[in-house]
Amino acid sequence: MTTPSIRFRVTREKALDTGVMVWGADPIDTPVAGGVSGRTLAELCDEVEAVKHFILDLPHGTPVAVDYVFELPGVSADNIDDWANDPDLMKGRLRKAGLSEEDIALLFDSRGEFARSMAR
């Protein structure tokens, strides 16, 4: 049996209500158009975990694989080689894109889902 999966487009965006920069995740190729947001990547991941079963209309407890597709200014798929070859250069690009040190650390944690998704 194949594990159901869902993809989310992840961006940095300004919250409409507060004007603060937050992370946003919108589901890709699903009938649900709305997304979730979080102040940090860790919060965003928690929000995605909370809605993935609802979006796919699956019972809680069903394993669901989540793919994150990042769209960050100044960080393109062409930069992925920098990830392994020059991590300081990549961290600099992520800082310029507005990431906090906490978010950068999460992305560079090789055990984290975000780090794996950036390498795709």
Distance of CA 66 to the CA centre of its chain: 10
Q: What percent of the chain has pLDDT over 70?
A: 82
In sign, the C-alpha dihedral spanning 52, 119, 1, 31 is positive
Q: Which two tokens stand for residue 109?
A: 């944690």
pLDDT one-digit tens code per residue, 23-69: 999 999 998 878 999 988 889 989 999 999 999 999 999 999 998 88
pLDDT one-digit tens code per residue, 74-85: 676 666 666 667
pLDDT value for 118: 52
- The helix/strand/coil state of 118 is helix
pLDDT value for 114: 53
What is the widest separation between alpha-carbon atoms in the chain? 44
pLDDT value for 87: 79
In sign, the C-alpha dihedral spanning 71, 72, 77, 78 is positive
Domain ranges of the chain: 5-118
